[in-house]
Amino acid sequence: MKAKALILPLVLLGLLFGGGRPESEPGLSVLERCHFLFIETLLRSPIRLGVREDIVQSLRRGRSLSDHLALLFLERLEGNSQERWSFLRLLEEFAPTSPVRFPAALVCVQKSRKEGKPGEAFAFALEALRLAEAEEEKLAAFRELFALLKEEDHHLEAVFLLHKMYRDFRDQTFLETRRALEPLLPGLSPDPLTFSARLLLAEFFLSLGFLQDAERFLNTLKEETLPPPLGDTFWLLQARLFLRKGNLKALEELLEGRKDTEDVLFFRGVLAQRKGMHREAIRFFDRLLAEYPKSQYLLTVLQNLAASYSALKDDERHIATLRRAATLFPQNGALLFNLFWVLYQKKDKDGALEVLEQLAALSEWRNQALFWKFKVTGETTPLATILAESRLDYYYVRATEIVEFSSPFVQQSPPPLSLPRDLETHWAKYRFFSSLGLFNHAEIELLFLLRKKPQDTLLLLECAGLFARRGMYRKSLQFAFRLFPERGRIPDFAGKSYYPRFFFREIEELAPQQNPPLDPYLVLALVHAESAFDPQAVSLAGAVGLTQVLPTTGAWVVEKEWVNPGKDGDITALLLEPRENLAIGMAYLAYLLRRFEGDLLLALCGYNAGPGRAERWKEELPQDRDAFLESIPFAETRNYVKRVLTNYFAYSVLYRGVSPFPGTSETP
């Protein structure tokens, strides 16, 4: 009787957690919502009388929310493998199309891992892999398998699985792979491996920049003991390794006495070029192109040939080689722009304009080509085209400075959601779970809908918002970016979704305290470019947190007393705290603005590449602002500066209605 007496209070408690009186939506009745709230409340309480049987009966009757009730049950179930399998089979039998089946299997993996039952966890991970449909689901299952192998000290198997993940899944990033692999390398021995497996891993390590480990595996092999295909692979990996290490003497010894195959000719040419013997490099590259016209190295060889002709001041052959490369690779925008840049510097106006016409046909490069057409001709028509097409990038921002201010954003409401009847229930479930704060359940339904309608504006907007609410800011931005049209003005809801004001309260408070005071929207622009608002971000170079500050730089800023941290401790740990990181990064940016007398472009160069390099570029590169930016020798810094300036413009226009850059009457 006591237990029964508690049921009504539990129901009321469930309704409270649901945000009040449950309202009906298409595909989801009030009764179904109340039933879910009742069972969910019981699952969180010590009293679970009849809950399992109720969920099983709900599944058998095909109730709309029964699959999520099963998932909730599995999330709270402890130490019962048989029961876990039972619920997975019930889902398979009575909810075979439910998007819950994969996450339910994943929950079983994680529970078994936590309970120290690796055998069960492996079985559930294989089940999850069987159920995975989308790429992100397959990758999630592989990550669980990798974690299991690592925990059970099956390091060799874990490395091979990581290799597969890196090769097969575009979402498995270079940085993530490096971090996962690094702790496994010290105890990894090549001894139990076949020759081909050693070569496979050596190539994997080399591609990720673990040169010592690649060399360690290669040193266990001898070319003469390998069959011809493996021997060729072994030699090629050695050549790549010596080149990456800059060990030209070892590369020269490796090449000595070799028959001039395609690979050998390429490395002979590269070796000669690295030694400054450009005429000899040209001889080897010319032979390679003559004997292997469809060489795998074709683009690299043509680029190296052009570089050698440039070093020899042979302008005619330099340009001819670039033209040849551009003809063979007409979709390579970087190559076309390089050709344009050489012609522009040689004051070949007609040739430069001809290349710009080709470049303008490539969507990603169109604004850049149009902007430089203005710089070459002095006519503002190309800038007007940039503004009319409203493709937001650095060159759009520059066009607004030179011609007139023009917002790339338009006030617009998202279009209404239009779903077929069979998907309406999933939308109702998403809305219901969001209102309860059950965001993992909401995510399941929303991503399922997006897989069915991958271009739907409202679904993309909801994804961006959901992941923002969960603090998964980088993922939020990825969905928001998909809202941008290829051309045409950008709806303001898409703009504000991609340019959000995360951490704005802290930024707005800290910005006036800097010397000089910083514009909060500039700081937002920098954080967006540096870390995509991920407070835990750590770069390959070791830069940490929202503003991606190196620990050495952070320590220097603190020593200068430009920042007084709220507590003592390890500088890296300090940089992982959002407010402390913002304070240090902003103080460093203010210092760079002081050092470069308010020149934002140079300050950003210094922030990305170091102030010393920025000082050298100030002296060595062209004085014209646009030519200066295109001449920066590091592509990463060029793109970074453009990105921050574009972000700054977007933030200011979206939230203040004005450009942060005053218009000019600049001429080329």
**Please, which contacts does 197-202 make with residues 24 or more away whose CB atoms are closer than 8 Å?**
197/160, 199/230, 199/233, 199/234, 199/237, 200/163, 201/159, 201/160, 201/163, 202/237
CA dihedral defined by 346, 348, 353, 358, rounded to 10 degrees?
Answer: -70
Cα–Cα distance measured from residue 220 to residue 237, given in angstroms and rounded to the nearest whole number: 13
What is the crossing angle of helices 66-76 and 101-114, to 10°?
10
Cα–Cα distance between 67 and 58 in angstroms, integer? 9
How many other C-beta atoms can be found within 10 angstroms of the C-beta atom of residue 252?
15
Answer whether 467's CB lies under 8 Å from 473's CB: yes
Burial letters 595-619, b for 16+ CB under 10 A, else e: ebeebbbbbbbbbbbebebbeebbe
Please list, in sequence order, all residues whose beta carbon lies within 8 angstroms of the beta carbon of residue 342, skipping any fewer than 6 positions away. 310, 318, 319, 322
Partner residues linked to 476 by β-bridges = none
Those residues whose C-beta lies under 8 Å from the C-beta of residue 122, and which sit 6 or more positions away, are: 145, 148
Q: What b/e readout covers 308-320, taking b as 16+ CB neighbours within 10 angstroms?
A: bbbeeebeeebbe
Place of tokens 């492996």: 122
* DSSP string over 79-122: S-HHHHHHHHHHHHHH-TT-TTHHHHHHHHHHHHHHTT-HHHHH
Could you tell me the CA-to-CA distances from 135 to 92, 128, 164, 169, 487 in Å, in that order? 21, 13, 13, 7, 28
Distance from C-alpha of 487 to C-alpha of 464, rounded to nearest angstrom: 21
Place of tokens 């390679």: 288
Coil, strand or helix at 538: strand
Question: 3-state DSSP call for residue 409?
Answer: strand
Q: Is 530 a catalytic residue?
A: yes
Q: Decide: helix, strand or coil at residue 424.
A: helix
Q: Which of 120, 530, 577, 630 is catalytic?
A: 530
Amino acid at 514: Q
Query: Catalytic residues, which ones?
Result: 530
